[in-house]
A and B are shown apart, each in its own frame.
Chain A
Amino acid sequence: MTTHGGFEPVFCTVVPPHVLDRLARNDDPALSGPARRTILRDSELRALRQVNTEYGLLAAPAAKAPSDQPLRTIYDAEHGTSLPGTEVRAEGQDPGRDATVNRAYSGLGATFDLYLKGYRRHSIDGDGLALDATVHYDEGYNNAFWNGEQMVFGDGDGEIFVDFTNSIDVIGHELTHGVTQYTANLTYNGQPGALNESMSDVFGSLIKQYSLGQTAAEADWLIGAGLLAPAVTGTALRSMKAPGTAYDDDVLGKDPQPATMDEYVRTGRDNGGVHINSGIPNHAFYLAATALGGYAWEKAGQIWYDVLTGGELGERAFFTDFAKLTVKAARERFGSGGEELQAVEKAWEQVGVRIL
């Protein structure tokens, strides 16, 4: 272990004290303000170091158990593109007038709930990470994404898409990109990218099912139901039950998702078809979950979660690597003679992914 002789060198200020002192006396508040704050912070840090040294507290701060409560903040981009925007609702505050803000807030809560109650995971990093989301991003923006730190939701243009907070599985989908980033960190390209997308669809759908108390048989297995504007011919953006059937529209075209390896799409677009070929692992999950019945997050979801977070799944994993690990996880968690193992093996066989 390395010691730093008392304190972390990163606390040290780069600007020499005499320069800071002169800046702090400057008449221009743009110069004096930051300098004054730096001086203040430095003196606070010095006092803290002294206290730490005197009480021998420097050896690693006591690990604090993460809270069982989420820490949500919703921001409003007010149709601009600066992130995160203006804070409009903090954790514990009552719902306001903006339904989009309220939906984002409760969607984040539902996601936090499934990960905590279903898998004992504290937030997306497993350590209570604060959940931030920005709504009303850009004008008529037809998308939602995870930027590596937070979720971003557009309002939709009203012609093809409506408000992206309308579907709870979309919120769960975006947050699961965060979970993947903190765990298997699947590369967002080609097959590992399609697996990354599939993780988000699987857990996005499970978050919806969990919040509605639905069994695998009751669930719609759709992603983005309620997201398409009324004029569009379609029910959702993707179907895990029947990939390729979610929409067929004059403007949008036809849902391009395959359900099996026979129909695997080779393309350079969409980061190598990450939103297209995700249909194959999506369908495998659906098959395993419906074969097992009951609440999908309890068995199939647990197996998929074990693989995503277990540490054996490589960043550049292919479908077959992932499939093999689900077989292993099913055996380890539910035993070799169980229906779980059988259901998982059969699901991959049906979509044409090799597990041997």
Chain B
Amino acid sequence: MRIQVSRTGGFAGIERRAEVDTTGRPDAPEWHALAEQAVTAGRGAPSAGVPDGFSYEITVDGRTVYAADPRLTPEQRELISRVLKEGA
């Protein structure tokens, strides 16, 4: 499973993107569960969000959903944070 996260906006307006390929990873099932929950709770189109809030695009195996601060589910927050931290 390929999980891509892109973060735009924010006070600085600086973009960040990263991706994780779970193939062969021992913790793949954990990633898959998290990604599925995050995508299920995502929106089909970007929303304006709050001023200076981060906007996120989460793409899992080609399917893209949108989310924005501060209204993230705990699973979305964790997935975004892990991908941006551990992904390349």
Q: Which residue of B lies closest to A148 (CB)?
A: B50
- Output the least CB separation between B39 and chain A (Å): 20
Interface string of A243-256 (1 = CB under 8 A from B): 00000000011001
**Which of the residues B12, B50, B53, B55 comes within 8 Å of A142, measured between beta carbons?**
B12
Distance of A268 from chain B, by nearest CB (Å) = 8
In the complex, whether B48 has a CB less than 8 A from a CB of chain A is yes
B8, B11, B70: the one contacting A224 at CB < 8 Å is B11
Nearest CB on A from B64, distance (A): 13
What 0/1 readout, one digit per residue, does chain A (78-117) give for beta carbons within 8 Å of chain B? 0001010000000000000000000000000000000000
With A81-B77, A147-B70, A270-B15 already in contact, the answer to whether A142 and B48 are too (CB < 8 A) is no
Instruction: Collect the chain A residues with CB atoms within 8 Å of residue B48's CB.
Output: 187-189, 271
Contact of B11 among A83, A147, A173, A276 (CB under 8 A): A173
Task: Decide yes or no: A146 and B52 within 8 Å by CB, A81-B70, A269-B8 being known contacts.
Answer: yes
Q: Which residue of B lies closest to A144 (CB)?
A: B11
Q: Does A342 contact B (CB under 8 A)?
A: no
The contact string, 1 if C-beta is below 8 Å from chain A, for chain B 62-78, is 00000001101000010
Number of B residues near A (Cβ < 8 Å) is: 20
Bound state CA distance, A142 and B54, in angstroms?
10
A146-B55 CB under 8 A given contacts A237-B12, A274-B13, A275-B12: no
Q: A188 to nearest B CB, angstroms?
A: 5
Q: Does A164 contact B (CB under 8 A)?
A: yes
Interface: A340 (CB within 8 A):
no
Near B by CB (< 8 A), chain A positions 221-264 give 224, 237, 252-253, 256
- Tell me if B49 and A188 are in contact (CB < 8 A): yes
B2 to chain A, nearest CB (A): 21
Residues of B within 8 A of A173 (CB): 11, 52
Interface size class of A (residues with CB under 8 A): 35 or more
A270 touches B11 (CB 8 A): no
Tell me, yes or no, whether A170 is within 8 Å of chain B by CB. yes
Taking a contact as CB atoms closer than 8 A, the residue among B9, B12, B77 that contacts A271 in the complex is: B9
Q: How far is A146 from B48 in the complex, measured between Cα atoms in Å? A: 13
Asked if A143 and B50 make an inter-chain contact with CB atoms under 8 angstroms apart, the answer reads no
- Measured CA separation A164–B12 after assembly (Å): 11
Tell me which of A148, A187, A196, A275 contacts B9 (CB under 8 A): A275
B-chain residues with CB within 8 Å of residue A132 when the two chains form the complex:
none
Complex-state Cα separation, A275 to B12, whole angstroms: 7
Task: Verify if A200 is at the interface (C-beta below 8 Å from B).
Answer: yes
Question: Could you list 10 examples of A-B contacts with CB < 8 Å?
Answer: A144-B11, A146-B51, A147-B50, A170-B11, A188-B49, A224-B12, A237-B12, A269-B8, A270-B13, A275-B11
Interface residues of A (CB under 8 A from B): 81, 83, 142-148, 152, 161, 164, 170, 173-174, 177, 180-181, 187-189, 196-197, 200, 224, 237, 252-253, 256, 269-271, 274-276
A143-B10, A145-B10, A164-B11 given. 5 additional CB < 8 A pairs? A81-B72, A145-B54, A173-B11, A188-B48, A275-B11
